[in-house]
Amino acid sequence: MLARLLDFIGDTGFAQLAVPELIMIVVALFLLYLGIEKKYEPLLLVPISFGMLLVNLPLGGLMDPPTNGQVGGLFYYLYQGIELGIYPPLIFLGVGALTDFGPLIANPMTLLLGAAAQLGIFFTFLGALLLGFTLPEAGATGIIGGADGPTAIYLCSKMAPHLLGAIAIAAYSYMALVPIIQPPIMKALTTEKERKIVMQQLRPVSKRERVLFPIVVIILTGLFLPAAIPLLGMLMFGNLLRECGVTERLSGAAQNELNNIIVIFLGLTVGAKANAVYFLKAETLQIIALGLVAFAIGTAGGVIMGKIMCKASGGKINPLIGSAGVSAVPMAARVSQVVGREANPNNYLLMHAMGPNVAGVIGSAVVAGIFLSMLPY
pLDDT average, residue stretch 255-273: 94
Determine contact, residues 263/47, Cβ cutoff 8 Å: yes
DSSP 8-state code for residue 37? T
pLDDT at 154: 92
Q: How confident is the model at residue 7 (pLDDT cuts 50, 70, 90)?
A: low
Nearest alpha-carbon partner for 325 in 356, 294, 363: 356
Percent of the chain whose predicted confidence (pLDDT) is above 70:
98
Q: Which residues contact 61 (CB under 8 A, 6 or more apart)?
A: 73
pLDDT at 81: 93
Distance CA 66, CA 56 (A): 19
Alpha carbon 88 to its chain centroid, in Å, reads: 10
pLDDT average, residue stretch 37-66: 91
pLDDT at 6: 67
Residue 333 has pLDDT above 80, yes or no: yes
Residue 65 has pLDDT above 90, yes or no: yes
pLDDT average, residue stretch 7-19: 76
Percent of the chain whose predicted confidence (pLDDT) is above 90:
71
Q: Which residues contact 289 (CB under 8 A, 6 or more apart)?
A: none
pLDDT average, residue stretch 279-292: 86
Q: How confident is the model at residue 361 (pLDDT cuts 50, 70, 90)?
A: very high
Residue 305 has pLDDT above 90, yes or no: yes
> 160-169, 249-258, 318-327, 354-363 — which is least confidently predicted?
160-169
Q: Which has more pLDDT, 306 or 295?
A: 306
Query: Average pLDDT, whole number, for the chain?
Result: 91
Q: Which residues contact 255 (CB under 8 A, 6 or more apart)?
A: 94, 97, 98, 242
pLDDT average, residue stretch 260-284: 89
Cite the DSSP H helix spans in 177-317.
178-189, 192-195, 207-224, 229-243, 248-255, 257-272, 276-279, 282-312
Q: How confident is the model at residue 10 (pLDDT cuts 50, 70, 90)?
A: low
Residue 340 has pLDDT above 70, yes or no: yes
